[in-house]
Structure 1
Amino acid sequence: MAGPAFRAAAVRVRVPATSANLGAGFDSFGLALGLYDDLVVRVADAGLHVDIAGEGADTLARDERHLVVRAMRATFERLGGQPRGLEVVCANRIPHGRGLGSSSAAICAGIMAARAVTVGGTEQLDQAGALALASEIEGHPDNVAACLLGGFTIAWTDGLAGLDGESVAPGAGAHAVTLAPSADVVPVVFVPADPVLTEVARGLLPATVPHADAAANVGRAALLVEALTRRPELLLPATEDRLHQDYRTPAMPQSAALVGALRAEGVAAVISGAGPTVLALTDESTAEKVLGFAGEGWAAHRLALDTRGAVVLPLAQ
């Protein structure tokens, strides 16, 4: 059986940063933000050439270990075979190891690019298939769902791991819905200089939590759907969390202190993903004031909400 055919022209993919959890929606909620990585890929006659500019240029591998390349290889396998060679150029703007979905961006960019350079790739691997593959590689669907789909996403997987001994493979049966966040919401991110590994942050979480804490988060998560889409004035109570942020404080005490200071001023602030970036959900009237909370060691950025997710763009755009 003949393998897939590949396009001769290069393709360009743009993927957004994402913030997961958003306080109460642990491992379920994601929000796409207007900060982007770009990827240009061309099928070559032989070999692998990887070029990186921006974030990670001095530290990331330039071979088969690169996460973009790994995601592309996994996608090509789903589509029937590998090309003879690849040229990959990454322009990275999403900070690494800061809780803004850099690994999800790399995975989604690789999947989108591999699909785009394969003739009939989009028909063979639709959006649901891309989400399932991205979730399998990442291990959970919250960031990759927001990165692929844009907007405010609610993601879940089939089955409940750990319930009555049931075990679910990472990313298995991943699904997501996307909602339009209110245009009145203005995200502000506070990015610290030093990263925190996701594995370290996850390692601080307990195996079980009190029933009262779980019940409280269920209510807040339901409220957050209404607050983020239609009633932003409810974002402060809607982003309250008892499941993960306090447990992670030892790994990021400065981030926890900033969240506390912002919330004491009535600002809906949370740890972004596994941290240590802090996300504040503000509005036009308070965004500039909130930016002033950035002290020494923090880079504060007002960002737009991304509503398109991962896209294939003309090379000249």
Structure 2
Amino acid sequence: MSISPVFTCLGGGHGLYQTLLAARHARAGHINAVVTVADDGGSSGRLRRELGMIPPGDLRMALSALTHDSEEGRLWRSTLQHRFKGNGAMAGHAVGNLILAGLSEEAGGMQQALDVLAKWTRSNGRVIPVCNEPLEIEADVAGLDDDPRVLRSVRGQVAVATTPGTVRRVRILPGDPPVNSAAIAAIMNADVVTVGPGSWFSSVIPHLLVPDVVTALNETTAQVVVILNLSPEAGETQGFTTERHMHLLSQHAPGLHVDHFLADNYLTATPGERRHLQRTAERVGGAIAYMDVRTIREDGSATNTHDPEKLAAALMTLSGSG
């Protein structure tokens, strides 16, 4: 593998942001961010509803993670992430979302807008929507009825992420959307492909519900690494075990092949539990690795955030480049 490997990172939100920073620390020759497009909350949701566009929020965050490492690049990063305050029509909108909304109309589409903005920000990589149309998440949820066996349908990313019930399964609407060809090319031409971390049902699994994405993950020569969350996501996967997180991938994408699951070695698992997790990983053709990837505060306490430098070292080791 090249000493400057090509990274393609699948996800959305803060989890993808940290992974992209890790790819930069790994001195990747090129970085692709393949981003979910199902957000329907906040500024993204408002623009999606008003303009019928792909929700820009996760795309903006990924782009901000890749801005050039210079004073100008850092200004771009903070500007893209800046949110207007107040109580008027602009309140809550992120500057980057509005730029992408305008550019997508002027340039002829969201991918074109992202590529133009990447040039302006001297980006270290390319941001790619997984699909060129907005998707919707729908979930089967238990615990919303007096009878715990009854499953209720909940629709929308925000509704799924905040449901008081237990999510059993999710799907995307439309069910077999046309994939962005650039996303497939990014997976096929990578040396390392990462999936996660992030909100499992709304940022990670939606990628695996696009059939062409699973086919590409199975056919690529890249090392495919699933980065496990450091803790269950409040709301979505509250109370879910590490094994349950791993099982959900194969449940939603039968036939998926994964090379590695990356867990933090802070995980308190007995030798017996680790053997069980290894067997779970083997069901999708992979193995589970435990490495130090967690950010530690100055007082020595652990956080629930991946440390980009530690994550970069772990990914390079797993890919054979470390």
Q: TM-score, normalised by structure 2?
A: 0.25
Structure having greater relative contact order (Cα 8 Å, sep ≥ 6):
1
Relative to total residues, which structure has the larger strand share, 1 or 2?
Answer: 1
Which of the two has greater helix per residue?
2
